[in-house]
């Protein structure tokens, strides 16, 4: 047996030595509409945590879900994945439901001890559940992702999925007959947690919606304003260097020699093309690591805890007096790819991206095609450079207008998805859920970190004492959801305590 393995290994090594040099692997930028590969609420690699999990009590299954909750004549169903764990459950305790968002779910949130939700479950004697969002992960409600099937992908349907699931679990486990259900979520699913409580107060008693962008907005120009501010808050010298970098890129783009320098520095697979879409696509690629590092800086989730932080992944290079501006930009980019184990060239082929996104199979583009669909038909959330302060800081207000993202809706899903349609859909979403200012419900906790670019669409103040925003100083996206770590700031520690105390008060009330 061992000999066979050795022979196979030798064969592999030899074939690599003698094979013609392969074309370098193309790496597409990690962030698409603020969503990194894998989804917006990060989970650390399971190998890091699995030894702490009591798998004996974790159950996984599929649930027969209704395809269209708003039109019974459709009459179709699909299998929705879920997990649950009763290891902390005590008689008469509540049920906690983590809502999946724009990525695959796993047993992680219901099984790993020491997360915010599982800590609260241990304290409250709660049974914990998690459902995967339709069209993400293995929850594939239709045969493909053609536009006629994507019509079943919406937050409104996902909320009804959660409601049907709660009813079914309550029926299946008689112990839960009188249990109070609390919805949890992070990022998009943080907003879903709040909206599920608002739409189904008869089923959902309270919600904890972390970093939820509860306000939809077509031109989300505040996103890059927060990126600018968050870098500046860490180091003003660093911010001065980063904006010098983006402005240098803008000037290098104007000459043939400059574009050659950029191709080398950013290790691009292709020459930079001068048509409008290609240039804007290039800018998205340049901004992507800066956006993602700021969004998750310091989160106790894998490499973001200490490596991909603002100070380590951005300012460590930008504050180095011994390097040129273009070298600093190169180093930020290289370090980001290194930590993510992306080895290859950076792909800036706009048309290739559009073809990728047009793939209607549940293939490699699945989550991106689904998430971008939701932005085109519900939320916008387009991270533009239109801000009068952040635009020039990022090298030009015209670099990435919201219209560029809307044009991608049209290119990917068809002519019906144009600017008027996107605006109408976003207005409808804010009306349907009430937006930031008219969330008409009670008992929702809304944690938001104030260096997280998404907090700009969160609900940060409330006139109603039963809607409790928890704004966390110096903290990034969904940070409260992870386990306590020795690196946590006092602000984050206090925020988790406040969330726990408020929820405790609600659950104790008769
Ligand atoms: C910048 O970030 C680092 C690491 O996260 C931190 O140690 C440092 O205190 C921050 N500086 C400021 C001024 O916030
Ligand atoms: C936020 O944190 C920073 C860094 O620790 C501190 O200087 C500042 O006073 C804090 N702001 C508030 C409102 O607590």
Same domain, 449 and 401: no
Quick check: is 194 in a domain? yes
- Point out the catalytic residue in the list 69, 155, 477, 488: 477
Nearest residue CA, atom 9 of ligand 1?
234
Q: What is the torsion angle, in degrees rounded to the nearest 10, for the CA atoms of residue 33, residue 36, residue 40 and residue 41?
A: -170
Positive or negative CA dihedral for 352, 380, 229, 387?
positive
What does the pLDDT average to over 39-67?
Answer: 82
Q: Contact at 8 Å (CB) between 136 and 102?
A: yes
Question: Each residue of 182-235: pLDDT tens digit?
Answer: 999 999 999 999 999 999 999 999 999 999 999 999 999 999 999 999 999 999
**Residue 201 in contact with ligand 2 by CB distance below 6 A:** no
By residue range, what is the domain housing residue 272? 218-427
Distance 454 CA to ligand 1 centre (A): 20
* Pocket probe mutation, ligand 1, options 234, 449, 451, 488, max atoms within 8 Å of Cβ: 234
Distance 473 CA to ligand 2 centre (A): 6
- Point out the catalytic residue in the list 106, 107, 154, 187: 187
Same domain, 442 and 422: no
pLDDT of residue 286: 97
**Residue 494 in contact with ligand 2 by CB distance below 6 A:** no
Q: Contact at 8 Å (CB) between 116 and 52?
A: no
User: Token pair of 92, please?
Assistant: 């008469």
Token pair 């010298």 is found at 237
To the query of whether residue 359 is one of the catalytic residues in this protein, the response is no
Distance 507 CA to ligand 2 centre (A): 31
Quick check: is 270 in a domain? yes
User: Token pair of 192, please?
Assistant: 């879903």
Mean pLDDT, rounded, of the chain: 93
d(CA 160, CA 207): 16
To the query of whether residue 452 is one of the catalytic residues in this protein, the response is yes
**Residue 474 in contact with ligand 2 by CB distance below 6 A:** yes
What's the domain count of the chain?
A: 2
To the query of whether residue 187 is one of the catalytic residues in this protein, the response is yes
Question: Each residue of 106-151: pLDDT tens digit?
Answer: 999 999 999 999 999 999 999 999 999 999 999 999 999 999 999 9
Residue 267, CB-side half-sphere exposure with 13 Å CA sphere: 22
Nearest residue CA, atom 12 of ligand 1?
234
pLDDT of residue 45: 63
CA 337 → CA 24, 114, 173, 296, 319, distances in Å? Answer: 14, 30, 47, 16, 20
Same domain, 260 and 304: yes
d(CA 434, CA 247): 39
Ligand 1 atom with least separation from CA of 309: 5
pLDDT of residue 16: 46
Quick check: is 26 in a domain? no
Same domain, 418 and 282: yes
User: Token pair of 340, please?
Assistant: 């993510």
Nearest residue CA, atom 13 of ligand 1?
234
Same domain, 446 and 390: no
d(CA 292, CA 282): 16
Nearest residue CA, atom 4 of ligand 1?
311
The CATH number given to whatever domain includes residue 136 is 3.40.50.1820
**Residue 311 in contact with ligand 1 by CB distance below 6 A:** yes
Nearest residue CA, atom 11 of ligand 2?
473
> Which one of the ligands is nearest to 474 CA?
2
**Residue 143 carries which DSSP code?**
S
Q: pTM for the whole thing? A: 0.93
pLDDT of residue 37: 77
**Residue 298 in contact with ligand 1 by CB distance below 6 A:** yes
Same domain, 413 and 468: no
Same domain, 387 and 459: no
Quick check: is 292 in a domain? yes
pLDDT of residue 2: 38
Quick check: is 271 in a domain? yes
Quick check: is 264 in a domain? yes
Ligand 2 atom with least separation from CA of 489: 5
Ligand 1 atom with least separation from CA of 311: 2
What does the pLDDT average to over 493-501?
Answer: 98
Quick check: is 31 in a domain? no
Same domain, 266 and 409: yes
User: Token pair of 432, please?
Assistant: 């349907």
Same domain, 71 and 109: yes
pLDDT of residue 50: 63
The domain boundary, picked from 427, 452, 477, lies at 427
pLDDT of residue 4: 38
The CATH number given to whatever domain includes residue 293 is 1.20.120.980
The H or E element spanning position 381 is strand 380-382
Same domain, 333 and 293: yes
User: Token pair of 246, please?
Assistant: 């983006």
What does the pLDDT average to over 39-47?
Answer: 70
Quick check: is 3 in a domain? no
Question: Each residue of 332-374: pLDDT tens digit?
Answer: 999 999 999 999 999 999 999 999 999 999 999 999 999 999 9
Q: Contact at 8 Å (CB) between 152 and 134?
A: yes
pLDDT of residue 40: 77
Same domain, 246 and 199: no
Nearest residue CA, atom 5 of ligand 2?
474
pLDDT of residue 5: 38
- Point out the catalytic residue in the list 452, 455, 480, 488: 452
pLDDT of residue 252: 98
Same domain, 401 and 444: no
Question: Each residue of 265-310: pLDDT tens digit?
Answer: 999 999 999 999 999 999 999 999 999 999 999 998 889 999 999 9
**Cβ atoms < 10 Å from Cβ of 474:** 17
pLDDT of residue 510: 73
The domain boundary, picked from 427, 445, 476, lies at 427
The angle, 0 to 180 degrees and rounded to 10, between the axes of the packed helices 276-296 and 350-357 is 70
Q: Contact at 8 Å (CB) between 99 and 193?
A: yes
**Residue 57 in contact with ligand 1 by CB distance below 6 A:** no
The domain boundary, picked from 382, 400, 427, lies at 427
């Amino acid at each position: 047996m061992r000999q066979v393995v050795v022979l196979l290994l030798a064969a592999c090594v030899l074939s690599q030595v003698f094979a013609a040099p392969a074309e370098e692997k193309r790496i597409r930028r990690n962030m698409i509409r603020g969503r990194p590969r894998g989804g917006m609420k990060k989970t650390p690699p399971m190998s890091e945590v699995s030894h702490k999990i009591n798998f004996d009590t974790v159950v996984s299954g599929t649930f027969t879900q209704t395809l269209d909750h708003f039109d019974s004549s459709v009459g179709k169903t699909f299998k929705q994945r879920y997990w649950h764990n009763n290891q902390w459950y005590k008689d008469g305790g509540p049920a906690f439901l983590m809502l999946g968002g724009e990525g695959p779910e796993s047993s992680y949130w219901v099984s790993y001890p020491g997360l915010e939700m599982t800590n609260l479950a241990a304290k409250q004697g709660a049974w914990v559940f998690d459902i995967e969002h339709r069209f993400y992960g293995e929850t594939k409600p239709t045969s493909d992702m053609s536009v006629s099937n994507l019509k079943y992908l919406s937050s409104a349907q996902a909320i009804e999925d959660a409601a049907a699931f709660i009813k079914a679990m309550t029926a299946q486990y008689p112990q839960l007959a009188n249990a109070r259900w609390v919805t949890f979520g992070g990022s998009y699913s943080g907003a879903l947690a709040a909206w599920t409580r608002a739409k189904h107060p008869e089923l959902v008693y309270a919600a904890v919606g972390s970093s939820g962008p509860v306000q939809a907005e077509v031109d989300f120009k505040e996103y890059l304003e927060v990126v600018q501010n968050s870098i500046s808050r860490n180091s003003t010298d660093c911010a001065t260097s980063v904006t010098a970098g983006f402005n240098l890129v803008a000037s290098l783009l104007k000459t043939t020699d400059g574009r050659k320098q950029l191709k080398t520095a950013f290790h691009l697979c292709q020459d930079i093309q001068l048509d409008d879409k290609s240039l804007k696509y290039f800018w998205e690629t340049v901004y992507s690591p800066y956006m993602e590092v700021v969004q998750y800086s310091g989160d106790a989730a894998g490499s973001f805890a200490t490596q991909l932080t603002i100070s380590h992944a951005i300012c460590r290079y930008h504050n180095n007096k011994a390097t040129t501006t273009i070298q600093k930009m190169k180093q930020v980019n290289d370090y980001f790819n290194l930590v993510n184990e992306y080895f290859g060239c950076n792909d800036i082929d706009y048309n290739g991206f559009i073809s990728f996104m047009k793939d209607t199979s549940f293939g490699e583009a699945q989550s991106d095609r689904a998430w971008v669909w939701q932005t085109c038909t519900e939320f916008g959330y387009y991270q533009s450079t239109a801000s009068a302060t952040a635009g020039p800081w990022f090298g030009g207000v015209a670099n990435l207008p919201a219209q560029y993202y809307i044009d991608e809706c049209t290119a990917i899903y068809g002519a019906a998805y144009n600017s008027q349609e996107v605006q109408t859909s976003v207005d409808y979403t804010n009306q349907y859920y009430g937006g930031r200012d008219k969330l008409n419900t009670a008992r929702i906790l809304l944690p938001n970190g104030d260096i997280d670019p998404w907090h700009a669409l969160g609900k940060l103040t409330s006139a109603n004492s039963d809607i409790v925003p928890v704004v966390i100083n110096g903290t990034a996206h969904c940070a409260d959801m992870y386990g306590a770590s020795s690196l946590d700031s006092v602000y984050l520690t206090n925020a988790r305590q406040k969330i726990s105390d408020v929820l405790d008060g609600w659950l104790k009330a008769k």
